[in-house]
Amino acid sequence: MMTTSDIPSNELLQNLGVEYQFRVTILEASQIPAEYEDIFCQFNFLHQHHEAYSTEPIKNHAKSGSSLSFSHVQNVSLKQNSTLKYS
């Protein structure tokens, strides 16, 4: 993991306030037991462990062990500040 202390201060200052945008896509879940009726996926980022993102729940109509299609897209944006960590 690279932290802000690994970046030259002039480069860090040049990028302060720059907004970065990226997309998280969850295509499918696999090996879901048939006993689970409502399935959702929850995820978070290492630098924001206190904030979680989640898909809407979907019904599990699949047979046990087969794949379940999510096709979930989450757009995320953040502004660089002096505590931003890169991994």
Is there a domain that residue 52 lies in? yes
Is there a domain that residue 86 lies in? no
Residues 6+ apart with CB under 8 A from 43: 24, 26, 52, 53, 54
Contact 62, 32 (CB under 8 A): yes
Domain residues for the domain of 49 are: 19-79
- Domains in the chain, number: 1
DSSP 21-77: EEEEEEEEE-S--TT--EE--EEE-GGGTT-EEEPPPEE--SPTTS-EEEEEEEEEE
pLDDT (0 to 100) of residue 12: 53
pLDDT (0 to 100) of residue 71: 84
Is there a domain that residue 41 lies in? yes
Whole-model pTM: value is 0.57
pLDDT (0 to 100) of residue 79: 77
pLDDT (0 to 100) of residue 82: 63
pLDDT (0 to 100) of residue 9: 55
pLDDT (0 to 100) of residue 85: 53
Q: Which residues of the chain have pLDDT under 70?
A: 1-15, 62, 81-87
Is there a domain that residue 47 lies in? yes
Helix (H, G, I), strand (E, B) or coil at 86: strand
pLDDT (0 to 100) of residue 44: 84
